[in-house]
Amino acid sequence: MKKIAIVGAGSMAEALISGILENGLIDRKNIWVTNNSNANRLKGLNDRYGIRSTYDLHTLFDNADIVMLAMKPKDADSAIAKIREHLTEQMLVVSVLAGVSMNTIETLARKSLSIARAMPNTSAAVGKSATAIAINSRVTDVQLESAEQLFSTVGLARFVEEEQLDAVTGLSGSGPAYIYYLIEAMENSAAGIGLEKEMAQELIVQTLIGAAEMVKNSSKSPEQLRREVTSPGGTTEAGVKILEEHGVQQAFISCIQAATAQSKKMGNALDSQLRVGKLF
């Protein structure tokens, strides 16, 4: 890994920059970033991380072996149009664009490319992302290893088939928001039963961390773990019965299905635009 050129300077780009540097994956002087027009944002990244930025595309892509697409998905067509002449078949193009297929990226670039398409989540900001990665047939073994190393700097990284990425988006890509929603509900309930907000939040967060560690480190299923702490006639049973009465488990299932469907819809919408030639 010689040089990384990042197109887009949002929160995910920053999380990956931070992870790369904390893990010593590549020297900071070999990380280059650009965006559409927000020079203040680039200066902020330069000041915080000591990386380099430029609006000169020749300088940005010169000798880069990895190009990361980290702009907003809706801007993919215009952004890739600007950089397509600088993309080569020797580069690994890493995309974190939700709903944008590898085929779409190649169509926008008007050339065949080695592509790794990834779906991290916002927990990358604290090095705890759950990232799924799909690759196309042109990715070499060396490039595959680079992609895994890159996303391992911000958490767990696993490879999947591209057709599974919409499901990953619905499950773990959007997953942190579901957990935050649950925490909101637990905090609201704490206020109603007489607990101070700060103490309640500490108890809630530690409870979630502990439960997650139990699932991670135990050979037992989540259902078995739940049943073991649900004594007949006890407090846990009383609480779980209310969750079941309100269909909370089915609500979570429907939630993830809806997010998965939306990811597919976003990708299909862009593909449809391409088929009718609206982008060119």
DSSP E strand stretches across the chain: 4-7, 31-34, 52-53, 66-69, 92-95, 114-119, 129-135, 155-159
**For residue 68, what are its two tokens?**
């990361």
Rounded Cα gap, residues 160 and 137, in angstroms: 13
- Domains annotated for the chain, with CATH where assigned, are 4-165 (3.40.50.720), 173-259 (1.10.3730.10)
β-pair type (129-135, 114-119):
antiparallel
- pLDDT of 276: 55
β-pair type (92-95, 52-53):
unpaired
DSSP-assigned letter for residue 10: S
**For residue 243, what are its two tokens?**
């969750």
Half-sphere exposure of 68 (CA within 13 A, CB side): 28
- pLDDT of 171: 95
β-pair type (129-135, 92-95):
unpaired
- pLDDT of 116: 98
- pLDDT of 1: 83
Say if CB 76 and CB 8 are below 8 A apart.
no
Percent of the chain that is helix, strand, coil (3-state, to 5): 60, 15, 30
CA proximity to 68, closest of 124, 40, 43: 124
Rounded Cα gap, residues 80 and 136, in angstroms: 18
**pLDDT tens over the chain, length 280 residues:** 899 999 999 999 999 999 999 999 999 999 999 999 899 999 999 999 999 999 999 999 999 999 999 999 888 889 999 999 999 999 999 999 988 899 999 999 999 999 999 999 999 999 999 999 999 999 999 999 999 999 999 999 999 999 999 999 999 999 999 999 999 999 999 989 999 999 999 999 999 999 999 999 999 999 999 999 999 999 999 999 999 999 999 999 999 999 999 988 887 887 677 555 555 5
DSSP-assigned letter for residue 74: G
